[in-house]
Amino acid sequence: MKIVIFYTPKKKYVKEVLKKIGECAERNKLEVIEFDGDKEHLKEFDLAMVAGGDGTFLRAAYLVHAYGIPILGINLGGLGFLTDIRKEEIEEVFKKMTKNDYDIEKRMMLRATHNNEADYALNDVVLSTEKGRMIELEILINGDFVTNLRGDGLIISTPTGSTAYSLSSGGPILTPGTNGFVITPICPHTLTFRPLVVSGDSEISICSRDSVRLMYDGQRNVKLTPGETVHIRKSEHLLKVVKIKGKDYFQILRDKLYWGNR
């Protein structure tokens, strides 16, 4: 097995973790190579490994998803919904990988088209104000008019992204296998506009009435001028996420969100 590794150089413990990964890979006769920045080389790998936080995972997911390469995350950040493997578990993870004792979860991604150019997101596509002023967005689903939103912006999230920006803006949590999107307003001027869950087979079109910032997973952004429209739907590609057996989704929610604690 040939593994490409993405990491955040400034993260605490990163040198220790990279050393541990190298030692475990050598013991298990696996080849580990750091990502060299050339996207074309990714097709040569069998697995992508991320050592960092969720931001590093999102960057790696954007690069590898179209190649169908499974991705595994080791958490060196804070919350770590995506990078759910602790650094203390690295040795055990390599043992399970060599025995094929793991599962592959297929996660939905978003495809957003603007001016005939497409971009992709694992968590969310966000339209937000540029200058701290209220903006107006026209929202359509499958061509049907929904409403004109006045507020600070709008989040379109996948089930994976429902525990990110959308959650902090009052949106619901969707389990990873749900075929749906969450449309979550950011500080809507109309207080009755609540988050909306729609089918994952829908096309969501958003027309800007003002200058707004269009962001993909908080990583890449473009400017929309008044009158421009972005079309968002499910990507033709699914992201393959490696999940070590014994860690279920609700355990992760309990651990990360402190459910049941007083």
Residues identified as active-site: 54
- Note the helical H segments in 90-176: 90-98, 165-168
Token pair recorded at residue 234: 């499910």
- 183 phi and psi angles, rounded to 5 deg: -105, 110
- 254 phi and psi angles, rounded to 5 deg: -60, -45
What is the distance of C-alpha 33 from the center of its chain?
A: 23
Rounded CA separation 42/48 (Å): 9
Residue 86: CB atoms within 10 A of its CB come to 13
Considering just the CA atoms, what is the radius of gyration of the chain in Å? 19
Cα–Cα nearest to 1, from 27, 31, 25: 31
Rounded CA separation 197/8 (Å): 34
DSSP structure string for 219-236: TEEEEE-TT-EEEEEE-S
